[in-house]
Each structure stands twice: as C-alpha cells, then as structure tokens.
Amino acid sequence: MSHASTTCLSEHRAAKSAHKKQTGPDVFDRASETLIALRRVVHALDENARAMARASGLTQAQLLVLHAVARNGQEMPRDIARALGVGQASVTLQIDKLEARGLVRRERRHTDRRAIWVILTEKGRELMDRTPDFLHERFEARFNKLEEWEQAMLLAVTERLSRLFDAEDVSLFPEPAAENRPAEPEARRGA
C-alpha cells in the first residue's frame, strides 16, 4: 500500500471515529432522554386537558378560547386568534358554541361599532372558578419565578423543538370545515 493510500485511509478512519463520537451513545441518549421528557410534558398536558374537559363539559378548543377571554374578562376575537395562534374562523366557531351555552356574550361598543368584544358572563366566570387549570397556573407561577434570561432560553428551546418536529405551523385546534365556517358579511364577499 502506498504512503498516499495509507494516509487517506488513516484520515478516513479518523473522520469516521470523530463522526462516531458526535453521533455515538451520548448523543443518542440525549436525544432519547429529550424525547422521553417531551413525552412526559405532552402526557401531562393531555391528562390536564381531558380532566378539564370532563369537569367543564367543554372541548379543549372551547376551553382555550374561554381561558383567553377570562384573562381580562373581555377580548376581541382577532386578539384571541392571535394569542392562540389559530385562524379567526376557528375562534368564531368556538365563540358561537360558548355563547350558545351562555358562557360568553358579544357586545359592540359605542366608540367603534365595527369592533365586537367577547365578554365573559357570570355563568362563564362560575364555570372558570369550578374548573381551574392547576397545571397552567402552577407552570405560570414557576415560570415567572425564573430569571428573565432563563425564560427567554426556555422559549427559544421550545420554539426550536417545535421546528425540529415541523410543528411550528400546527394549530391548537383544526380550522372548521367550509360548511361550519361562519358566513362572511355581504359587503366583504363582493370586495
């Protein structure tokens, strides 16, 4: 074997060894441990959502919208949609269902008749009091005790994980089918 061949083979083995070190058991273990930790979080969130749905009689989508309204007692549908990262049609559908149950009501303001506000009713407040989201409250309380840089780091890591799973565009609840979407006002159809 020539000197050049021996050198090339040695370099190949060194590169292979270095690659093995980067993708060896430690990296695999970290990846596995990360997935296990994520599965625990997902499981805790799912269990919490099911318990809240049983206690309230609402779907997860309805609970998310109701919680968004309850934060300030009133919200505009577009702000709810933005906060939840979903389409306004999805939010409108959930508001319709919550309004039919008497948990929220819509109201126009005198200052801007175009703007519609969703307001938590007394019945909605009572339901929220009977079905507190302990997991969310506990997480928020603990998160708020972290240093600002730790909060920013957790957000960045969570967003990165979302991208790793191709989940950054996944909606919290699916868009309604076309037949379930609220009809557009006549003035907007012609535009």
CA-to-CA dists, residue 187 to 86, 89, 183, 184, 190, angstroms: 24, 17, 11, 8, 6
pLDDT of the residue at 182: 46
Its sign, for the CA torsion 88, 94, 98, 101, is positive
Q: How far is CA 105 from the centre of its chain?
A: 25
pLDDT > 50? residue 191: no
Q: What's the pLDDT tens digit per position in 128-157? A: 988 878 888 899 999 999 999 999 999 999
Ordered by start, the domain boundaries in the chain are: 27-181
Measured distance CA(83)–CA(92) in Å, rounded: 14
- Who wins on pLDDT, 175 or 29? 29
Mean pLDDT of the chain: 81
Are the CB atoms for 82 and 68 separated by under 8 Å?
Answer: no
- pTM (2 decimals)? 0.66
From the candidate CATH numbers 2.40.100.20, 3.40.50.620, 3.30.70.100, 1.10.10.10, the one assigned to the domain spanning 27-181? 1.10.10.10
The reported pLDDT for the residue numbered 10 is 57
Query: Which tokens hold the place of 182?
Result: 């609220």
d(CA 176, CA 87): 9
